[in-house]
């Protein structure tokens, strides 16, 4: 067996969802810098921002990126994004399920104030949407013989987080979906893992939390500083690449040692 080069993402094709958030945009530029080609997706109403991001990422190279507007809860739209990978780049090796309802949670609310509609939306996007992407991508990933799926969960499902019961439950479900998908898709060489970020100091988090809460989260870490999107890049790119091919069904916590699992 050839020893894989751990930094070799050259010419891998990646489907990345939620690209216009601060974290998704960081993954996009990390992938194209590493030589991967990216089908970058977000909601259709994020088309302008998405097109700007893929133009910048392609200009920086060496990888190329294209934008496809699609809602991950819409199976046909998701299929269009997967088909774009084949048409533009000849196939698909990796999927990063990063899209979620997070910034748009609209603030913290006690669970007794949440409505069924709140739960429906968050579970539909964060869990069913993630499943839709896995479902559409699985056959093309299998054809590559070295498929990788990285689902973005969150450490909140370990500690809980007041004010976000539906979001926390959705991220716990993502971990369960990861394990089941790993069991089903491993036979075709596809690995499925979760990356579980701690509280990232990005635009979305700042809309939802106070400075004091962010400072408290930073102090609770073994590495006591603010977490930034760039802190996630190593874990996500490694799990998307050839070197992690015998790691599957796992959740990798990236939070500077806030929780140990
Ligand atoms: N920021 C944090 O502290 C933090 C911590 C742990 C986990 N996460 C996770 O990391 C990921 C990125 O977080 P972020 O801070 O950039 O959040 P964000 O809310 O800014 O970005 C989420 C992206 O998903 C997109 N999206 C939402 N609904 C969609 C749908 N139905 N179809 C397609 N796209 C949709 C949004 O348009 C947005 O671009 C999310 O999965 C989030 O849950 C974030």
Q: In this predicted structure, what is the pLDDT of residue 7? A: 67
pLDDT in tens, 146-164: 999 999 999 999 999 999 9
State yes or no: is 102 an active-site residue.
no
Of ligand 1's listed atoms, the one at least distance from the Cα of 73 is 31
Q: CATH code for 13-254?
A: 3.40.50.720
- Radius of gyration in angstroms for the set of CA atoms belonging to the chain, rounded to a whole number: 17
Read off the pLDDT of each residue in 16-42 and give the average, rounded to a whole number. 98
pLDDT digits 0-9 by tens, 61-92: 999 999 999 999 999 999 999 999 999 999 99
Q: Which residues line ligand 1 (CB under 6 A)?
A: 17-18, 20-24, 42-43, 46, 71-73, 98-103, 125, 129, 152, 154, 197, 199-200, 202, 204-205
Q: Which long-range contacts (CB under 8 A, 24 or more apart) does 154-160 make?
A: 154/196, 154/197, 155/196, 155/197, 155/198, 155/199, 155/253, 155/255, 155/258, 155/259, 157/196, 158/196, 158/253, 158/259, 158/261, 159/259
- Whether the predicted model's global pTM rises above the 0.95 cut: yes
User: Which residue is closest in CA terms to ligand 1's atom 20?
Assistant: 21
| pLDDT at residue 44, rounded to an integer | 98
From the list 54, 18, 10, 147, the residue with the least C-alpha distance to 92 is 147
* pLDDT value, residue 3: 76
Rounded to whole angstroms, the Cα distance separating 168 from 101 reads: 11
The gap from C-alpha 21 to its chain's centroid, in whole angstroms, comes to 11
**Lookup result for tokens 């048409």:** 87
Domain boundaries, the chain: 13-254
- Shortest-distance atom of ligand 1 to CA 199: 3
**Mutation probe of ligand 1 site: the residue of 100, 160, 167, 174 with most atoms within 8 A of C-beta:** 100
Average pLDDT value for residue range 27-46: 98
Out of 107, 204, 214, mutate this one to test ligand 1's pocket (max ligand atoms within 8 Å of CB): namely: 204
Contacts of 51 (CB under 8 A, 6+ apart): 67
């Amino acid at each position: 067996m050839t020893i894989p080069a751990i930094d070799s993402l050259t010419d891998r094709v990646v489907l990345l969802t939620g690209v216009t958030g601060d974290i998704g945009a960081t993954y996009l530029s990390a992938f194209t810098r590493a030589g991967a080609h990216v089908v970058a997706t977000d909601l259709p109403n994020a088309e302008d921002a998405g097109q700007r991001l893929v133009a910048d990422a392609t200009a920086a190279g060496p990888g190329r990126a294209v934008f496809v507007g699609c809602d991950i809860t819409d199976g046909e739209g998701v299929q269009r994004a997967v088909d774009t990978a084949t048409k533009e780049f000849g196939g698909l090796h990796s999927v990063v399920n990063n899209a979620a309802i997070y910034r748009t949670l609209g603030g913290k609310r006690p669970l007794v104030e949440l409505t069924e509609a709140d739960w429906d939306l968050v579970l539909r996007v964060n869990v069913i949407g993630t499943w839709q992407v896995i479902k559409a991508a699985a056959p093309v990933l299998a054809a590559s013989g070295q498929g990788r799926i990285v689902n973005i969960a969150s450490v909140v499902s370990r500690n809980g987080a007041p004010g976000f019961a539906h979001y926390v439950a959705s991220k716990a479900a993502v971990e369960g979906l990861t394990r089941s998908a790993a069991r089903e898709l491993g036979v075709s060489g596809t690995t499925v893992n979760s990356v579980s970020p701690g509280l990232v100091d990005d635009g979305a988090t700042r809309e939802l939390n106070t400075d004091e809460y962010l400072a408290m989260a930073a102090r609770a870490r073994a590495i006591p500083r603010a977490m930034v999107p760039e802190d996630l890049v190593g874990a996500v790119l490694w799990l998307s690449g050839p070197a992690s091919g015998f790691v599957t069904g796992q959740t990798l916590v990236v939070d500077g040692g806030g929780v140990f699992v």
